[in-house]
Amino acid sequence: MKFMPELFTQSSARLGTLSELERTPDVVLETPLLMLYTKRGSVPHITKEVLEMITPEKLLLTMSLPTTFDMTDPVRQFKSIADFVGLKEYPVFLTMEDPAQPTVSGYNDEDTIAVWTRHGKQIINADGYMDIVEAFRPDFYLALYDSDTHSGSSSKRITKSVDRSIKMLDKCLTRHKASEVVRNKGIFGAVGGGYNTTAREMSIKNLEGKDLAGYVIDGLHNNGPETEKIPFQFVEDIVKHTISLLPQDKMRVTMGAWNPVTVINLIKLGVDLFDSSYPYLVTERSCALTFLYHHSETGESPMISISEKRYADDFTPICKDCKCLTCLNHTRAYLHHLYQTKELLGAVLLMIHNIHHYLEYFKEIRNSLRNGTFRELETKIYVIFAKNDSAN
Amino acid sequence: MDRKQPCRVPLTFKIAETCSTSKARTGLMILPHHDVDTPVFMPVGTQGTLKGLLPQQLEKLDCQIILGNTYHLGTRPGTTILQMAGGLHQFMNWKRALLTDSGGFQMVSLLQLAHITEEGVTFRSPYDGSECVLTPEHSIEIQNTIGADIIMQLDDVVHAKVTGPRVEEAMHRTTRWVDRCLLAHQKSDEQNIFPIVQGGLDPQLRTESAKLLTQRQVNGFAIGGLSGGESKNDFWRMVHLSTNVLPVDKPRYLMGVGFAVDLVVCCALGVDMFDCVFPTRTARFGCALIRTGQLNLRQKQYKYDTAPIDDSCDCSTCKNYTRAYLHQIVTQETVACHLLSVHNINFQLRLMRDIRDSIKEQTFPQFVRKFMLELYPDGEYPTWITEALEAVDIKLSK
Ligand SMILES: [Zn+2]
Ligand SMILES: [Zn+2]
């Protein structure tokens, strides 16, 4: 595994490349990167055949423990979880929480973590977790830790979480280094500490000198659609402070369904990896993102809700400038009909468009960093969303 | 054929080969939007979409024609929207051939208060409770707006188990209605009306129905009123009898039939077109079709099964996914439904391709024997299959 950040002088934002993964050596990914959100091993609504139509790139897939926990035993018969779910050409990042689903709070213990699966609560410790990791053989994974903190957590609870987490990390690292099958994979450490600066510093101090592929800046939210509503200002100081203490040569991840304004700002602070739970949640609300092809003169909102009656006889695509499979082939009227009739193709077509849209957004962000036009893009995105409080 | 030129005859049927033993035949049906190899299975896309599959995926499966339901489409999105869109092809962006039913059968089966008079199918609107009538003229008007390559006459549907004068009345009414449909038809250079052979399970009535309809100026025929719960013994006899009367040089469409074994038997009896919701409906419940029956992937036995659904299948599902993974996501993720729909549709289309190839190579009887032995390895064939095939000189091996 190789991560090469190129640093930028004007802001903390950086471009980088991720390559030389053990299992998928041909994959080269550019950061800031949008990882593809999966649920039970699949991009929701999207089969491999359709995924390949959305993009030929073999993007990094995020898989979360709650939605894959039940698969552990059968996965052992396969080379990796990627092989098991039929996406073996794609690299995988195993995370502990489902970013699209609010995390149930209050069940973690001294050295165990509660994982909420389809069949209820499962309790695992670091050893149990590493057994799963050895079965899954993800290309990247997050060391087990206590993530049960958020903006409202008491400092006592936060300190406890930081203490527990370092013990779990050490156990995971010991197993990691000794394991034939995962020692060449990338292990990430979670930076916890909620919104408490001291606890953050403690957490980072604990991670210092450990052999990690990168850091997940966690404890900023409790997952699910609520994450979209978090304004950048709310997380700015703590993320900025956290990143200032992290080494430059390691990847930084913030999981969750951040809105596009917060995303571009987090990139400005130096975050490298995000997941696509946001376009997924937008799809589940029968909405289509339009902010990237926004024409300010028409006063359009950054997304449209295809359920609205006014689209029943609108024979234009979601975005006339969008080159996705949905926009090239289908109209808003057809999408509205599929919504009305609750047909499965509706979510498929919206997901194709929304993923494409968000991938294009990240491409544009990378281009703007390359061309020195990041500030213009940032302003454009800010203006579009400032007019519309709905998504911000 | 240049499709930009409006073709004066919207259907040309060319038989390439006829089985020298049975009544099976293979050919090409040239329609305004696409050429269709027969015998053909048509997947059902009731509401202008086929169970989560993109038109591009259907094309990749080499699906040449799909079916839409007039009752559903007339309700949602409705004819105004379809008219504005320029027809269903445009609306759903399906570039190949389409067939629509008349809407009558759907009404009678879906709406409890529907009943039939000489005027048409009378029903209470499920929306405002007002009394409405679907006349033969109205059905054709809607189907003209939808714009399918093949459209169906409105027929007087009688449940398969009904006997007595009602069956005769329905048969004659169906014949009167086809004339009203043909008269109302506004696009006879772009769309083909198929009349529907009725007559219940009465050989005389069915023969008479087929004879009467054959006198009409049409490009193909449907065989209706079957696959509604009648015995298999009656079923195959009615199909056999219908194809005996219907002209050899026009396509014959057996409505609502699509189980693999029925497809094989009815091809032997000389049927060219089939449709059925079963392959896609069963996919939703986690069932995958294979030559020896079907797999219910919800069952525990597949948890550790690293095989694809069918290792001889060339679909994208079987190439990439295992039974073990499908077991984890069936009825949980829509992806599972899409994956099984792809496989099940490919299963049906591949079966039809195999049937066509065997007819072309004059090996159809051997194909039938092999198919049946695979399905009934002990050689204990149901009597109706043995009898139906013997009626067209195919003897099954023990
Ligand atoms: Zn698009
Ligand atoms: Zn298959």
In a domain, A169, yes or no: yes
Chain A: residue nearest B305 by CA?
A74
Q: Do residue B26 and residue B157 come from a single domain?
A: yes
pLDDT-based confidence at residue B123 (cuts at 50, 70, 90): confident
pLDDT for residue B291 is more than 90: yes
What is the nearest CA distance from A200 to chain B, expressed in angstroms? 38
- pLDDT (0 to 100) of residue A296: 59
pLDDT-based confidence at residue A7 (cuts at 50, 70, 90): low
Q: Do residue B65 and residue B108 come from a single domain?
A: yes
* Residues A280-336: tens digit of each pLDDT: 999 999 999 999 987 655 567 899 999 999 999 999 999 999 999 999 999 999 999
In a domain, B393, yes or no: no
In a domain, B85, yes or no: yes
Chain A: residue nearest B340 by CA?
A47
The pair of three-digit structure tokens given for residue B235, joined into one six-digit string: 């079923």
Residues annotated within the binding site of B are 101-105, 155, 198, 225, 313, 315, 318, 343
What is the nearest CA distance from B20 to chain A, expressed in angstroms? 41
Q: Do residue A169 and residue A242 come from a single domain?
A: yes
A326 touches A318 (CB < 8 A): yes
Share the mean pLDDT of chain A: 94
- pLDDT (0 to 100) of residue B227: 85
What is the nearest CA distance from A19 to chain B, expressed in angstroms? 25
The pair of three-digit structure tokens given for residue A333, joined into one six-digit string: 């009227």
In a domain, A391, yes or no: no
Closest partner CB to A313 (pick from B84, B304, B339): B84
Number of domains in chain B: 2
Q: Do residue B218 and residue B333 come from a single domain?
A: no
Closest partner CB to B81 (pick from A329, A333, A347): A333
- pLDDT (0 to 100) of residue B312: 96
- pLDDT (0 to 100) of residue A10: 74
* Residues B148-162: tens digit of each pLDDT: 999 999 999 888 888
* Residues A117-141: tens digit of each pLDDT: 998 999 999 999 999 999 999 999 9
Catalytic choice (B101, B156, B262, B310) = B101
What is the nearest CA distance from B234 to chain A, expressed in angstroms? 36
* Residues A157-199: tens digit of each pLDDT: 888 888 999 999 999 999 999 999 999 999 999 999 889 999 9
CATH number of the structural domain spanning residue B54: 3.20.20.105
The pair phi, psi for residue B22, each rounded to 5°, is: -95, -170
Catalytic choice (B37, B149, B275, B310) = B275
Q: Which residues pair with A61 in a beta bridge?
A: A36, A92
Closest partner CB to A334 (pick from B53, B56, B91): B91
A374-381 average pLDDT score:
94
In a domain, B376, yes or no: no
- pLDDT (0 to 100) of residue A389: 54
Q: Do residue A227 and residue A294 come from a single domain?
A: no
Q: Do residue A145 and residue A73 come from a single domain?
A: yes
Q: Do residue B130 and residue B181 come from a single domain?
A: yes
In a domain, B391, yes or no: no
Residues annotated within the binding site of A are 322, 324, 327, 353
Where a domain ends, among B254, B276, B298? B276
In a domain, A392, yes or no: no
pLDDT-based confidence at residue A391 (cuts at 50, 70, 90): very low
More confident residue, A3 or B125: A3
The pair phi, psi for residue A264, each rounded to 5°, is: -65, -35
Please indicate, yes or no, whether the overall pTM of this predicted structure exceeds 0.90.
yes
The pair of three-digit structure tokens given for residue B255, joined into one six-digit string: 């409505």
B166-176 average pLDDT score:
96
Answer whether B81 sits within 8 Å of A44, measured CB to CB.
no
Answer whether B85 sits within 8 Å of A46, measured CB to CB.
no
pLDDT for residue A154 is more than 90: no
Give the span between the Cα atoms of B300 and A52, in whole angstroms.
31
- pLDDT (0 to 100) of residue A337: 98
Ligand 2 centre to CA of B321 (Å) is: 9
Q: Do residue A123 and residue A219 come from a single domain?
A: yes
Answer whether B328 sits within 8 Å of A40, measured CB to CB.
yes
Those residues whose C-beta lies under 8 Å from the C-beta of residue B349, and which sit 6 or more positions away, are B41, B61, B62, B63
Q: Do residue B272 and residue B296 come from a single domain?
A: no
B45-55 average pLDDT score:
96
Ligand 2 centre to CA of B343 (Å) is: 4
- The boundaries of the domain holding residue B101 are 12-276
In a domain, B398, yes or no: no
- Residue A98's identity, in one-letter code, is D
Strands A15-19, A33-37: parallel, antiparallel or unpaired by DSSP? unpaired
CATH number of the structural domain spanning residue A142: 3.20.20.105
The pair phi, psi for residue B7, each rounded to 5°, is: -85, 135
Query: Could you say which ligand is closest to the alpha carbon of residue A355?
Result: 1
A39 to chain B: which residues are within 8 Å by CB? 333
Ligand 2 centre to CA of A272 (Å) is: 39
Q: Do residue A313 and residue A237 come from a single domain?
A: no
Collect residues with CB below 5 Å from ion ligand 2. Answer: B 313, 315, 317-318, 343
Q: Do residue A155 and residue A295 come from a single domain?
A: no
More confident residue, B347 or A384: B347
Residues annotated within the binding site of A for Zn(2+) are 322, 324, 327, 353
Closest CA to B153 of B124, B121, B122, B131: B121
pLDDT for residue B214 is more than 90: yes
Q: Do residue B249 and residue B355 come from a single domain?
A: no
What is the nearest CA distance from A335 to chain B, expressed in angstroms? 9
- The boundaries of the domain holding residue A256 are 2-283
Q: Which stretches of B19-164 are DSSP H helices?
A: 55-60, 70-73, 79-85, 88-92, 104-110, 136-146
A27 touches A91 (CB < 8 A): yes
Ligand 1 centre to CA of A287 (Å) is: 12
Ligand 1 centre to CA of A58 (Å) is: 20
Q: Which stretches of chain A are DSSP H helices?
A: 48-54, 65-68, 72-75, 81-84, 126-136, 155-178, 197-207, 232-245, 260-269, 277-284, 325-329, 332-340, 344-371, 374-386
Answer whether A70 sits within 8 Å of B328, measured CB to CB.
yes
Q: Do residue B229 and residue B327 come from a single domain?
A: no
Share the mean pLDDT of chain B: 95
- pLDDT (0 to 100) of residue B124: 84
What is the nearest CA distance from A346 to chain B, expressed in angstroms? 8
Ligand 1 centre to CA of A322 (Å) is: 5
Closest partner CB to B49 (pick from A39, A73, A338): A338
CA gyration radius for chain B? 21
- pLDDT (0 to 100) of residue B131: 86
Report the half-sphere exposure of B52 (CA within 13 A, side-chain side).
Answer: 26
B55-83 average pLDDT score:
97
Write out the residues of chain A at the interface with chain B, using a CB-CB cutoff of 8 A: 39-50, 53, 70-71, 73-74, 77-78, 84-87, 118, 312-313, 315, 325, 329-331, 333-334, 337-338, 340-341, 343-345, 347-349
Ligand 2 centre to CA of A46 (Å) is: 17
- pLDDT (0 to 100) of residue A390: 45
In a domain, B133, yes or no: yes
Answer whether B335 sits within 8 Å of A42, measured CB to CB.
yes
What is the nearest CA distance from B114 to chain A, expressed in angstroms? 22
Query: Between chain A and chain B, how many beta carbons pairs sit less than 8 Å apart?
Result: 123
Those residues whose C-beta lies under 8 Å from the C-beta of residue A196, and which sit 6 or more positions away, are A155, A158
Number of domains in chain A: 2
Those residues whose C-beta lies under 8 Å from the C-beta of residue A149, and which sit 6 or more positions away, are A157, A158, A161, A192, A193, A194, A219
Q: Do residue B357 and residue B240 come from a single domain?
A: no
Q: Do residue B305 and residue B265 come from a single domain?
A: no
Q: Do residue A196 and residue A266 come from a single domain?
A: yes
Answer whether B85 sits within 8 Å of A333, measured CB to CB.
yes
Q: Do residue A159 and residue A32 come from a single domain?
A: yes
Write out the residues of chain B at the interface with chain A, using a CB-CB cutoff of 8 A: 47-57, 60, 72, 76-77, 80-81, 84-85, 91-93, 303-304, 306, 316-317, 320-322, 324-325, 327-329, 332-335, 337-339, 342
* Residues A193-237: tens digit of each pLDDT: 889 999 999 999 999 999 999 999 999 999 999 999 999 999 999
Answer whether A330 sits within 8 Å of B52, measured CB to CB.
no
Q: What is the DSSP letter of B44?
A: B
Closest CA to A35 of A158, A155, A139: A139
Give the span between the Cα atoms of B26 and A165, in whole angstroms.
69
Candidates A46, A61, A345, partner chain B, best to mutate (most B CBs within 10 A): A345
Q: Do residue A258 and residue A346 come from a single domain?
A: no
Ligand 1 centre to CA of A41 (Å) is: 24
Q: Do residue B193 and residue B308 come from a single domain?
A: no
Q: Do residue A279 and residue A229 come from a single domain?
A: yes
The pair of three-digit structure tokens given for residue A281, joined into one six-digit string: 């949640």
Q: Do residue A267 and residue A376 come from a single domain?
A: no
Answer whether B57 sits within 8 Å of A49, measured CB to CB.
yes
Residue A386 burial (CB count, 10 A): 10
In a domain, A19, yes or no: yes
Query: Could you say which ligand is closest to the alpha carbon of residue A328?
Result: 1
Q: Do residue B69 and residue B141 come from a single domain?
A: yes
CA gyration radius for chain A? 20
In a domain, A264, yes or no: yes
Active-site residue, B189 included:
no
- pLDDT (0 to 100) of residue A392: 37
Candidates A43, A89, A337, partner chain B, best to mutate (most B CBs within 10 A): A337
The pair phi, psi for residue B351, each rounded to 5°, is: -60, -45
In a domain, B389, yes or no: no
Q: Do residue B172 and residue B220 come from a single domain?
A: yes
B337 to chain A: which residues are within 8 Å by CB? 344
Ligand 1 centre to CA of A205 (Å) is: 45
B304 to chain A: which residues are within 8 Å by CB? 73-74, 77
A314 to chain B: which residues are within 8 Å by CB? none
In a domain, B382, yes or no: no
A20 touches B309 (CB < 8 A): no
Active-site residue, B101 included:
yes
Where a domain ends, among B226, B249, B276? B276
- pLDDT (0 to 100) of residue B132: 86
Question: Listing from the earlier edge strand, what are the strands of the sheet with B150-152?
Answer: B65-68, B97-100, B150-152, B192-194
Q: Do residue A69 and residue A145 come from a single domain?
A: yes
Torsion of CA A41, A44, A45, A51, to 10 degrees: -70
